[in-house]
Amino acid sequence: MDADIIAVATIGGALALGAMSPGPSFIMVARTAVASSRRAGMGAALGMGIGSIVISLIALMGLHTLLAAVPWLWLVLKTGGGLYLLWMAFKMFRHAREPLHMENSGNMGKSFRRAFLTAFITQISNPKTAVVFAGIFAALLPSHITPAMYVALPVVSMLVDGLWYAFVAWALSSSGPRNTCLRYKATFDRIGGSVMAALGIKLIVK
């Protein structure tokens, strides 16, 4: 039991470091918090957290082994994920100069659901994330995985991503950071779109 607790804590720390590194998930949550509302940003954070549950379960069930046995599946997954990131980058560039309109209270529920679904799709569409999860699990888990780990690790994954992105959404939906982002919206969108496009291209060609 002590070994399991140590493994879960170590894996949680590794996942936290990964979540805090800039990437498409961070850009998506940050832009949602600035463009819509704190509620929508929290919806995006929840979508990231739920997506982490799915990814961690897939990783625990042996994604790395499956991809090694079926090489073409990795090609399909990474190409699909890369195209999705390129599509998001295209939309950010296309609308970079358009002003953002704050959601009114009547649209908050719809905005929350849309943000949740977009974040969830963003999270699970990047196969590299699943491979990173699988690599961390393979490196840090004990040789024998107890049934409790199939519950503990998805929960820890959800908490790590969900809490981190909730903090991002809360911070960037505050008036000071939000006003700064709105003032330089076109620049931030072009930078974010460039990062998205670079990640998408790298995912496809590498």
pLDDT digits (tens, 9 = 90+) for 13-52: 888 877 776 677 888 888 888 877 888 899 999 999 999 9
pLDDT at res. 42 = 93
Domain housing 97: 2-205
pTM of the model: 0.68
Q: What is the pLDDT of residues 162-203, one digit of tens each?
A: 999 999 888 888 877 767 766 776 777 787 778 768 877 877
Tokens standing for 16? 């936290």
Structurally, the chain folds into a number of domains equal to 1
What value does the mean pLDDT take over residues 52-73? 77
* CA 196 – CA 27 distance, rounded (Å): 8
What distances in angstroms separate CA 164 from CA 56, 133, 159, 178, 189, one per listed residue?
Answer: 17, 17, 8, 18, 22
Amino acid 100: pLDDT: 53
For every residue of 143-177, DSSP letters joined together read SS--TTHHHHHHHHHHHHHHHHHHHHHHHHTSHHH
pLDDT at 105: 39
d(CA 63, CA 44): 25
Looking at this protein, which amino acid is placed at residue 11? I
The CA distance from 80 to 15, in Å, is 24
pLDDT digits (tens, 9 = 90+) for 104-161: 433 444 578 899 999 998 888 877 677 677 767 766 776 677 788 888 899 999 999 9
Name the amino acid, one letter, at 52: S
